Structure 1
Amino acid sequence: MTAQPNHEPQPLVLETRGLVVGYGGRPVLRDFDFKLRPAEVLCLIGHNGAGKSTLLKTLFGLVQRQDGQIMLDGRALETVEPRRLTAAGVSLVPEGRGIFPGLTVAETMKMGLWSAGVPAAERADRLDWVMSVLPALKQFYERRAGNLSGGQQQMVSIGRALLSRPRCLLMDEPSIGLAPKLFQDLLQPIRQLQKDTGMAILLVEQNVKEALKISDRVVVMKSGAIIREALPEELNDNAKLMELY
């Protein structure tokens, strides 16, 4: 008897149900429901203060939720903390790059391997793999991060996030301070990696035009709520985007 193929849908990579997050008693996200599907690039856009970065930080455990559920692979997480998320295959490229200016790129990567919990015997191979994704890192590997250009610093930040070989990558405004061409040069290798591995990516961006070029789906936020979900081609008209803002 021939086995029948399994057509059951894969569980969502990340999901929130009734999420409530705030600062100093002021709510930013209230009863917030959100879904990141397997193997998709989801672009999250909206005006400043819409709650986009707060959502990413909450998903990665940098901001504590006040109520609601955060689900990973269909299972509710009792505690949400960066080390546990990293071990589960989720990685974050933080806003503002989050590099240490006094460290060389090599030292940054060494610290990143330790932080990601990569076994010592696997670290050389893991580093080689990251270099294969972002080969330009080799050009400034021994330089201090504080002496690098904005684009080079962002590449270091992305490379460090990839050290855990994540299946889900959270990226918080990686285009800040970068020209559109440089932004695309950075994102295209990540998009190719996503296609090759089926990695899910949640991309928070202000540079909407460039971000839409590599996205599969778009969610628009305003004042802590989702006001629109669309395909990138539905928002390629500036007039349509201005209506949402």
Structure 2
Amino acid sequence: MLKLNSVKVSYGAIEAVKGVSLEVREGEVVTIIGANGAGKSTLLKSIAGLEPIQAGQVLIGGQDCTLVPSHKRVGLGVAMSPEGRGVFADQTVRENLLLGAYTRRGNAGAIEAAIEREFTRFPRLRERQNQLSGTLSGGEQQMLAIARALMSEPKLLLLDEPSLGLAPLVIKDIFAAIRQLRQSGLTILLVEQMARQALGVADRAYVLETGCITLEGSGKALLNDPKVKAAYLGSH
């Protein structure tokens, strides 16, 4: 579904991503863990086409998308729930969902069915559907960001720090939704600082340190790796 070959991303003289190669197979949940500033979000943005790469190659579904603009990657089946949620604050919940379905415009019946599906997945959004998104709680905004990404019916869902700034009970709900999406067969690439939860839901995982992949393996293997435990999991 996704393959990165020696991807490099720089901000001026600062190299944020240093030749990263990884792959995500169809139907997998793959997670990337790492400390703040490791380059995780930059890497995800480069996959979505929101950050240009200086070297390397991005393959989506076997197609070279290195130079394909972000809005066209949505048409190829890539959708992203960004760090910080990025909801349109002056639009209602329903309007945000409609904006997420812009590649499907002209098919009103399918769009309404998709809205109903997301309202079933996140009942709070149904209750808030006519409310301005900027007035939602952080957890409700995160649910909306994920639901909006799903409105395009992606083949590959990119989730960037979905637990950021949320209360423990809300985080539990978000990860329950990720597990449900995994069971549906959706391919997911997850960037997450809550390493224990992320590795628990992942088929495979990568550790990113200062722009480089330093470890990779199954989610279970990395959960039990002494280096990962010491650096990211703490005592349990």
Q: Which residue of 2 aligns with 1:3?
A: none
Q: Residue deviations 1:147-195, cap 9 Å, x none?
A: 2111101011111001001111000001011123311212212321221
Q: Which letter does structure 2 place at the counterpart of 1:224?
A: G
Which of 193, 218, 222 in structure 2 is aligned with 1:231? 218
TM-score using structure 1 length: 0.87
State the one-letter code of the partner of 1:212: L
Write the distance in 1 (CA, Å) between the matches of 2:128 and 2:213.
41
Q: Deviations over 1:38-62 (max 9, x none)?
A: 1111110011111111110000000
The aligned counterpart of 2:177 is 189
| 8 Å Cα contact 1:44-1:205 kept in structure 2 | yes
CA drift at 1:217: 1.2
Q: For residues 225 and 203 of structure 2, what CA distance do their matches in structure 1 show?
A: 18
Query: Residue 116 of structure 2: which of 107, 117, 128 is its match?
Result: 128
Give aligned-pair identity as a percent: 38
Q: Pick closer, same or farther for the CA change 1:151–1:78 going to 2, 3 Å.
A: closer
Q: Number of aligned pairs?
A: 231
| Stretch deviating more after TM superposition (118-127 or 84-93) | 118-127
Stretch deviating more after TM superposition (95-104 or 179-188): 179-188
- What residue is the counterpart of 2:142 in the other structure? 154
Structure 1, unaligned stretches of length 5 or more? Answer: 1-12
CA distance in 1, matches of 2:97, 2:186: 21
- Alignment of structure 1 residues 104-183 onto 2, 5 Å: 104-114=92-102, 116-121=103-108, 122-183=110-171
- 118-127 or 95-104, larger mean C-alpha shift: 118-127
Equivalent residue letter for 1:27: E
Q: TM-score, normalised by structure 2?
A: 0.90
Equivalent pair of 2:200/2:223 in contact (CA under 8 Å): no
Residues 59 and 80 in structure 1, CA contact (< 8 A), matched pair in contact too: no
**Cα deviation digits, residues 75-106 of structure 1 (max 9, x gap):** 32252322111111110000000012222212
Residue in structure 1 matching 2:203, options 210, 216, 222: 216
Amino acid across the alignment from 1:98: G
Q: 1:180 to 1:213 in 2, by over 3 A?
A: farther
- CA distances 1:11-47 after superposition (whole Å, capped 9, x unpaired): xx11111211100122112222111111111110011
Whole-Å separation in 2 of the counterparts to 1:68 and 1:236: 30
1:18 corresponds to: 6
Corresponding residue of 1:9: none
The answer to whether the 8 Å contact 1:20/1:32 transfers is yes
Question: Residue 189 of structure 2 aligns to a residue in which SS?
Answer: strand
Q: Among 191, 198, 203, which residue is 1:204 paired with?
A: 191
- Find the aligned partners of 2:164 and 2:66 in 1 and give their Cα distance: 33
Write the letter of the residue equivalent to 2:80. L
1:118–1:164 Cα contact (<8 Å) kept: no
Distance across 2 between alignment mates of 1:162 and 1:119:
18
CA RMSD of aligned residues (A): 1.8
CA 151–36 in structure 1, closer or farther in 2 if over 3 Å, else same: same
Distance (whole Å) between structure 1 residues aligned to residue 50 and residue 134 of structure 2: 24
Local SS of the residue matching 2:213: strand
Match of 2:43 among 50, 55, 72: 55
* Distance 1:77-1:107 versus aligned 2 partners, 3 A rule: closer
Aligned-partner Cα distance in 1 for 2:182–2:28: 8
